[in-house]
């Protein structure tokens, strides 16, 4: 099965003022009965969690996004290819959660929690 790509009919980038990201916790700690914790790295590859809001979208684009998420990505179980909004490098991504709000004038706001998977897409 081919890897999905972000639909070209949706905004290609989130609003730059709305992007936030952080690496997933990559440390495992063991707390012995006495002394400081013993820590180790969990993995050599770290995923990043992003939050983003996209420019206003129409009702038709809401339908396109929801079809992409629920059908193409199997309700978020599958990944897709998309350019990192900061670096422009293509990565594999997953949509962890999303929210759509009505903002008036027939437009909607799409907010999403995204996960950038480790390693650039090849």
**Angle, CA of 98, 103 and 104, to the nearest 5°:** 145
Q: Which is more confidently placed, 119 or 76?
A: 76
**Angle, CA of 41, 44 and 47, to the nearest 5°:** 100
- What would the pLDDT profile of 62-115 be if each residue is shown by its tens digit? 999 999 999 999 999 999 999 999 889 999 999 999 999 999 999 999 999 999
DSSP state letter for 46: -
Distance (Å, whole) CA 80 – CA 5: 5
Residue 120 has pLDDT above 90, yes or no: no
- What would the pLDDT profile of 48-67 be if each residue is shown by its tens digit? 999 999 999 999 999 999 99
Q: What are the residue ranges spanned by the domains of the chain?
A: 1-8+57-122
Total-model pTM = 0.83
Residue 9 has pLDDT above 90, yes or no: yes
- Please count the other Cβ atoms lying within 10 Å of the Cβ belonging to residue 99: 10
Exposure on the CB side of residue 80, measured as CA atoms within 13 A: 22
């Amino acid at each position: 099965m081919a890897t999905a790509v972000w639909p070209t009919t949706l905004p290609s980038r989130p609003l730059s003022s709305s992007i936030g990201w952080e690496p997933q916790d990559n440390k495992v700690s063991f707390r012995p009965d006495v002394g400081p914790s013993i820590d180790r790295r969990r993995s050599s590859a770290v995923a990043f969690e992003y939050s983003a809001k996209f420019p206003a979208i129409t009702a038709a684009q809401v339908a396109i996004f929801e079809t992409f998420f629920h059908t193409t990505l199997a309700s978020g179980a599958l990944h897709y290819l998309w350019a990192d909004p900061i670096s422009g490098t293509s990565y594999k991504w997953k949509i962890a959660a999303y929210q759509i709000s009505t903002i008036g004038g027939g437009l909607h706001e799409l907010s999403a929690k995204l996960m950038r998977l480790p390693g650039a897409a090849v």
